[in-house]
């Protein structure tokens, strides 16, 4: 489990790689994100404690759900990459647009998560669904914490 968590954190560090070799960063990031998706499922499997019968219904739903969450995540990755490109020359307009984009992404993420609750409740017990969202929340929090420590704050040069 520690190895899986470490690889999750490694994937986040790729987000903060503000390298001039932008194409290589994007390639590495795509590889890391694919591993991240696999790791999420592995960690959920280790911690969800569902029956084989429940799993037959749940796992296809979960993979579809992760696909939708990944689309929202792709937008966040693109936003971070755009931020990295403009960090030293960011205008007030860019800053405003990035914050608005960030808030829209977070709102869309919540919409996806909310929309999937009834689907998961058809496949799992209420406690298992709550546990699933707790697991996802903990993984997301670890990733966001790691990213937050690596991504510099925008500078207000007056």
Q: What are the C-alpha distances in Å from 19 to residues 15, 65, 130, 145, 152?
A: 10, 32, 39, 21, 14
Say what the pLDDT of residue 151 is. Answer: 80
What pLDDT, in 10s, does the model give residues 30-72?
Answer: 556 666 767 888 899 999 989 999 999 999 999 999 999 999 9
Global pTM reads: 0.76
Cα angle, residue 31 at apex, residues 64 and 11 outer, rounded to 5°: 90
The model's confidence at residue 101, banded by pLDDT at 50, 70 and 90, is: very high
pLDDT at residue 141 is higher than 50: yes
Say what the pLDDT of residue 129 is. Answer: 97
CB 14 within 8 A of CB 150: no
| Tokens of residue 97, six digits | 């647009």
């Amino acid at each position: 489990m520690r190895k899986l968590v470490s690889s999750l954190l490694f994937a986040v560090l790729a987000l903060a790689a503000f390298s001039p070799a932008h194409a290589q960063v994007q390639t590495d990031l795509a590889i890391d994100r694919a591993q991240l998706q696999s790791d999420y499922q592995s960690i959920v499997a280790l911690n969800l404690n569902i029956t084989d019968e429940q799993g037959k219904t749940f796992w296809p739903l979960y993979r579809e759900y992760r696909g939708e969450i990944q689309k929202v995540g792709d937008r966040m990755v693109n936003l971070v990459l755009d931020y990295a490109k403009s960090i030293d020359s960011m205008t007030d307009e860019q800053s405003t647009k990035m914050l608005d984009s960030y808030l829209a992404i977070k709102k869309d993420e919540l919409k996806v998560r909310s929309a999937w609750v009834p689907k998961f409740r058809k496949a799992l017990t209420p406690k298992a669904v709550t546990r699933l969202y707790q697991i996802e929340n903990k993984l997301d929090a670890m990733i966001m914490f790691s990213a937050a420590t690596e991504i510099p704050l925008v500078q207000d040069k007056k």
